[in-house]
């Protein structure tokens, strides 16, 4: 049978994104040929550096190339200006909208020998909430007043809850096939603040409940948690959670916080997922304090590469990558400084390539 070829856009972005995105390419090129996969690549630009050079953070050429030529992409990191910069907006937020990538999926998993095991997935709605970026400032009787629109729609809420239910079922199938997990049943936790935001978060809660009441999710346990209580319990009892579904802002905060449970943002992958397109994206930022030092952790990017393959239906290839990363972490001899080690980016990449 002829090998399947996937064309991947590479968007390093800013800072350490330019140091870790090449690791994703090297991992894909090193996958065993027996998996029946080939890859081609196209280098693309986006980010604050691109904005300073060209006046736009997301060139139209990048968007059109992704739409017309690519099956998926890897996105590195974005530096954000510390002061208001006229004409600038986040290119990754814009890409999510332009490509209809309605879900951000972030697995957070500890190594098998962890004292406090963590094995959960945060499924974050990716297109609305406060991230619609509709704000205004006006003069009130006591000074300036700033307002922002929080938009929650029934359609987006239904889509994201369905994605969470599907992921819960997929994780259960993996457990039944012998993949180790700390859980013994599929569960989705709906996170919201409907006790205060009765219309917006109330609509999210009600719609998510309705989506997860579909027959195909009969075996999925559904519970809900107010977001402030969720933060507390996530840190105190992380093993209680399997799949968490949340609106955009809460999902963003929870997923970055959850990274602390496994030691570093440098370990945590994500995928921006739509109908037929996936962008793998490490959860860390551009980290200007370590840019150019050669010590950035490449594992979040490598795991994001595997996650991208999973959403292309290439679960065997993804499993090879996960196993190589897990072996590196469990041995613990080559770790970057964010993990308490002294290894360089290149040393970690080479170790994972050797195990792959």
Domain extents in the chain = 1-101+274-356, 109-262
| pLDDT of res. 114 | 65
- How crowded is the C-beta side of 219, counted as CA atoms within 13 Å? 12
Contacts of 315 (CB under 8 A, 6+ apart): 309
Rounded CA-CA distance 148/187 in Å is 33
Q: For the chain, percent helix, then strand, then coil, each to nearest 5?
A: 45, 20, 35
| pLDDT of res. 112 | 65
pTM of the full structure: 0.90
Q: Which CATH number is 1-101+274-356 given?
A: 3.40.718.10
Burial letters 287-321, b for 16+ CB under 10 A, else e: beebbeeebbbbbbbbbbbbbbbbbbebeebbbbb
| pLDDT of res. 12 | 97
Asked whether the domain spanning 109-262 has the same topology as the one spanning 1-101+274-356, the reply is yes
Rounded CA-CA distance 218/222 in Å is 10
Q: Specify whether the CB–CB gap between 46 and 76 falls below 8 A.
A: no
Contacts of 146 (CB under 8 A, 6+ apart): 135, 136, 137
| pLDDT of res. 243 | 97
Structure tokens given for 73: 């992409």
| pLDDT of res. 111 | 75
Per-residue pLDDT of the chain (356 residues; tens, 9 = 90+): 678 999 999 999 999 999 999 999 999 999 999 999 999 999 999 999 999 999 999 999 999 999 999 999 999 999 988 788 888 988 998 999 899 999 999 999 887 666 678 999 999 999 999 988 899 999 999 999 999 999 999 999 999 999 999 999 999 988 887 777 788 899 999 999 999 999 999 999 999 999 999 999 999 999 999 999 999 999 999 999 999 999 999 999 998 889 888 888 899 999 999 988 999 999 898 999 999 999 999 999 999 999 999 999 898 899 999 999 999 999 989 999 998 999 999 999 999 999 99
CATH 3.40.718.10 fits 109-262, yes or no: yes
């Amino acid at each position: 049978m002829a090998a399947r070829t996937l064309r991947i856009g590479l968007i390093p972005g800013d800072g350490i994104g330019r140091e870790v995105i090449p690791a994703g390419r090297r991992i894909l090129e090193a996958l065993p040929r027996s998996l029946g996969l080939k890859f081609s690549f196209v280098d693309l630009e986006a980010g604050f550096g691109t904005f300073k050079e060209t006046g736009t953070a997301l060139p139209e050429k990048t968007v059109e190339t992704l739409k017309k030529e690519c099956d998926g992409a890897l996105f590195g990191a974005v530096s954000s200006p510390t002061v208001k910069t006229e004409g600038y907006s986040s290119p990754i937020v814009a890409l999510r909208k332009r490509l209809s990538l309605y879900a951000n999926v972030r697995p957070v998993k500890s190594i098998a020998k962890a004292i406090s095991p963590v094995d959960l997935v945060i499924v974050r709605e990716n297109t609305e909430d406060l991230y619609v970026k509709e704000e205004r400032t006006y003069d009130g009787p006591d000074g300036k007043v700033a307002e922002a629109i929080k938009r929650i729609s029934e359609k987006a809420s239904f889509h994201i809850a369905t994605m969470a239910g599907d992921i819960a079922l997929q994780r259960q199938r993996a457990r039944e096939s012998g993949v180790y997990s700390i859980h013994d049943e599929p569960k989705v936790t709906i996170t919201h603040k409907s006790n205060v935001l009765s219309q917006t978060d109330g609509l999210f809660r009600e719609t998510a409940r309705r989506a997860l009441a579909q027959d195909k999710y009969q075996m999925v346990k559904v519970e809900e948690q107010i977001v402030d209580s969720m933060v507390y319990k996530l840190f105190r009892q992380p093993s209680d959670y399997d799949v968490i579904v949340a609106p955009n802002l809460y999902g963003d905060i929870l997923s970055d916080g959850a990274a602390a449970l496994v030691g570093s943002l440098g370990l945590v992958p994500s995928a921006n997922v739509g109908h037929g397109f996936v962008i793998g994206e490490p959860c860390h930022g551009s980290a200007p304090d370590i840019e150019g030092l050669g010590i950035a952790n490449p594992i979040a990017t490598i795991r994001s590469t595997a996650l991208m393959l999973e959403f292309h239906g290439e679960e065997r290839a993804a499993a090879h990558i996960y196993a190589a990363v897990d072996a590196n972490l469990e041995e613990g001899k080559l770790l970057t400084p964010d993990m308490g080690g002294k290894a360089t980016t290149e040393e970690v990449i080479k170790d994972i390539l050797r195990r792959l």
